[in-house]
């Protein structure tokens, strides 16, 4: 069993000091303060990563859920880009390239810019079966599911916010197989994954496995 949690705050000391000292706002229109001319971020962020490893002599079965949420407030109403969540890539939902999934069921016609594909909430779940082939090679089969969302509606990103009545529509699912080279002191990983359920299409509830649009991921070490 593996559990990792993270709690992060930012911007509160600066804001508290400025308010206690009755410092006037640097920007009256937005009621915000600056540091060195830059409007600083203020947010709280929580992450939980939970895994269960079932081990046998020649194989293992890994179950994982990863949930994170970040809430901007106060001095700036958006998360910094580097603190926002993204999905896809070698350690996420591997049927999508990094930063190419979501948020929500945002139409693929609006996903040409990766700046659109960040969010404030992330939910991912993974199942992976790993097995020995030889002393050097390992195989794997996996299923990844989840997405990212924003917490409040955004007219520039329709259907990107999380809602209970469309939660299933927003879930992306990918399946794949992997080959790993285990050199004991490090591991090289190749994962081939295909989309099984794509929330960005006009039929987000439809299951349609398309291997000719698959994604190959190269990684160092296990994804989780």
Task: For Cα atoms 203, 209, 210, give the angle at the middle one, nearest 5 degrees.
Answer: 100
Tell me the per-residue pLDDT of 163-216, one tens digit each, with 9 for 90 and over: 999 999 999 999 999 999 999 889 999 999 999 999 998 899 999 998 888 999
Residue extents of the structural domains in the chain: 2-220
Total Cβ atoms within 10 A of residue 37: 6
What is the three-state SS of the chain?
Answer: CEEEEEEEEECHHHHHHHHHCCCCCCECCCCECEECCEECCCEEEEEEEEEEEEECCCEEEEEEEEEEEEEECCCCCCCCHHHCECCCCCCCCCCCCCCCCCCCCCCHHHCCCHHHCCECEEEEEEEEEEEECCCCEEEEEEEEEEEEEECCCCCCCCCCECCHHHHHHHCEEEEEEEEEEECCCCEEEEEEEEEEECCCCCCCCCCCCCHHHCEEEEEECCCC
pLDDT recorded at residue 113: 61
* The CATH classification of domain 2-220, taken from the options 3.50.50.60, 2.40.160.50, 3.30.160.150, 3.30.499.10: 2.40.160.50
Cα 162 versus chain centre, distance: 14
In the chain (224 residues long), the average pLDDT of successive 10-residue segments reads 96 88 86 88 96 95 98 92 94 94 84 76 98 96 97 89 95 97 94 96 91 93 94
Distance, in Å, from the CA atom of 193 to the CA atom of 170, rounded to the nearest integer, reads 19
Distance, in Å, from the CA atom of 186 to the CA atom of 127, rounded to the nearest integer, reads 22
pLDDT recorded at residue 26: 86
What are the residues facing 179 on neighbouring strands? 139, 190
């Amino acid at each position: 069993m593996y559990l990792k949690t993270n709690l992060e705050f930012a911007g509160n000391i600066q804001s508290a000091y400025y308010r206690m000292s009755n410092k006037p706002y640097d920007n009256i229109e937005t009621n915000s303060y600056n540091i060195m001319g830059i409007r600083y971020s203020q947010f709280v962020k929580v992450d939980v990563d939970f895994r269960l490893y079932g081990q046998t002599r020649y194989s293992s079965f890994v179950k994982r859920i990863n949930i994170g949420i970040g809430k901007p407030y106060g001095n700036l109403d958006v998360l910094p880009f580097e603190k926002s969540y993204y999905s896809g890539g070698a350690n996420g939902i591997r049927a999508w390239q990094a930063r190419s999934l979501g948020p929500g069921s945002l139409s693929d016609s609006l996903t040409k810019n990766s700046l659109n594909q960040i969010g404030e909430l992330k939910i991912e779940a993974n199942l992976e079966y790993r097995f020995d082939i030889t002393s050097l090679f390992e195989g794997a089969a996996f299923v990844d599911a989840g997405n990212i969302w924003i917490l409040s509606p955004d007219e520039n990103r329709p259907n990107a916010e999380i809602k209970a009545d469309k939660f299933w529509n927003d879930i992306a699912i990918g399946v794949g197989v992997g080959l790993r080279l285990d050199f004991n002191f490090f591991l090289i990983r190749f994962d081939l994954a295909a989309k099984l359920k794509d929330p960005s299409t006009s039929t987000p509830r439809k299951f349609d496995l398309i291997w000719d649009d698959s994604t190959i991921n190269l990684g160092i070490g296990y994804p989780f």
